[in-house]
Amino acid sequence: MAASIAEQRARACRTLLTQVHATTAKEGITPSALHAIKLKLVALAAKTDLFPPGDFAMPLAQGRTHPLLVEDDDGHGLYLTINLPGKEAAPHDHGIWCVNAAISGRERHVFYRRTDDGTRPGSATVAKVGEVMVEPGNGMAMADHDIHSTEVVGQAPAIGLALYGYALTRFPSVAWFHPEFSAMRASPSRRQLAT
Amino acid sequence: MARTAKTYQVNITNLGQVITCAANETILHAAIVAGIDYPYACASGNCGSCISQLEAGRVTMLPRGDAAISPAQVKARQTLACRARPQGDVAITWLGRGRR
């Protein structure tokens, strides 16, 4: 009997994470490793038959995350994300690497570097260093402590795959940057919230 | 000539302080500009740090993530100050750092 779409998707996700572990075991979390992982995630996202919209509920508000494969302990987390037009995230450092690839729609990622010395609590300045449009056939990769903002562009939902070094429930504290006020605020680690 | 956005009075009940907020401005933004130490983190509808109780008045909400505030919370007149724009005069209490 032919495997269901859900079974095929689960198998494809397991295969991806096996490949990811093989890559990182060989060379660690390096820029080239993250690039290789991004290419694999883009290839998986291109298999749109594995991610039919009917299998994933739309957001109740404007942004929703569906777990696809979440490893135990401090393993990786692979998710399908749905963000509706207008959904955004201010510049932030979530402390752990991540790779994104689009299934459909467009999401702009802007990258920043911190320009202050980090000695004043609650204060920070950042400068834009680059920008990537995550759309079908394209993705983005960022290392631990890279800073990015996101914004859904256009009138269609941005649906994509997101692979994080840690599962979302094991995320460290997230630092949010607010250039208008030269401010930095942290949201607590989900690890602390879980204990 | 550009039209100036309408403004409303927002009572931050934790402090008993009334600030002015434009109709096209979020309550959090107006509070920060006014020098108020309103609790927040992402300021973009993702983390829920600025979760607040709407004591009076109405707001419209900008796009936000499902995890930041639930439909039940919205029904109970809670809101995210970073996503809330006033539709008239408003009274609001922040909950994220506890009520003062």
A:97-116 residues touching chain B, CB 8 A cutoff: none
Is residue A92 less than 8 Å (CB to CB) from chain B? yes
Q: Which of B40, B41, B65 sits opposite A62 (nearest CB)?
A: B65
A181–B41: do the CB atoms touch at under 8 Å?
A: no
Strand order in the sheet with A126-134: A126-134, A106-114, A147-153, A88-93, A174-178, A183-187
Is residue B31 less than 8 Å (CB to CB) from chain A? no
Strand order in the sheet with B51-56: B17-22, B7-12, B90-94, B51-56, B78-80
Which among A62, A108, A152, A184 is the top mutation candidate for probing chain B, defined by the most B β-carbons within 10 Å of its own β-carbon?
A: A62
As a whole number of angstroms, the distance between CA A171 and CA A174 comes to 8
A59–B66: do the CB atoms touch at under 8 Å?
A: yes
Is residue B23 less than 8 Å (CB to CB) from chain A? no
Q: How confident is the model at residue A189 (pLDDT cuts 50, 70, 90)?
A: confident
A176–B65: do the CB atoms touch at under 8 Å?
A: no
Report, as an integer, the average pLDDT of A5-32.
97
Report, as an integer, the average pLDDT of A74-90.
97
As a whole number of angstroms, the distance between CA A49 and CA A36 comes to 23
Q: Which pLDDT score is estimated for B97?
A: 66
- Smallest CA-to-CA distance from A82 within A98, A109, A105 is with A105
Q: What is the pTM of this model?
A: 0.93
Contact between B38 and B60 under an 8 Å Cβ cutoff? The reply is no
- Smallest CA-to-CA distance from A172 within A148, A150, A145, A142 is with A145
Across chain B, what does the average pLDDT equal? 94
Q: Which of A60, A65, A90 sits opposite B44 (nearest CB)?
A: A90
Q: Which of B41, B63, B67 sits opposite A176 (nearest CB)?
A: B41
Q: How confident is the model at residue A195 (pLDDT cuts 50, 70, 90)?
A: very low
Task: Quote the minimal CA–CA distance from A33 to chain B in Å.
Answer: 29
Q: What is the ipTM of this complex?
A: 0.92
- In this predicted structure, the answer to whether residue A192 has a pLDDT above a threshold of 90 is no
- Span B60-94, pLDDT tens digits: 999 999 999 999 999 999 999 999 999 999 999 99
- Span B36-67, pLDDT tens digits: 999 999 999 999 999 999 999 999 999 999 99
Q: Which pLDDT score is estimated for B100?
A: 43
Q: Which pLDDT score is estimated for B93?
A: 98
Across chain A, what does the average pLDDT equal? 95
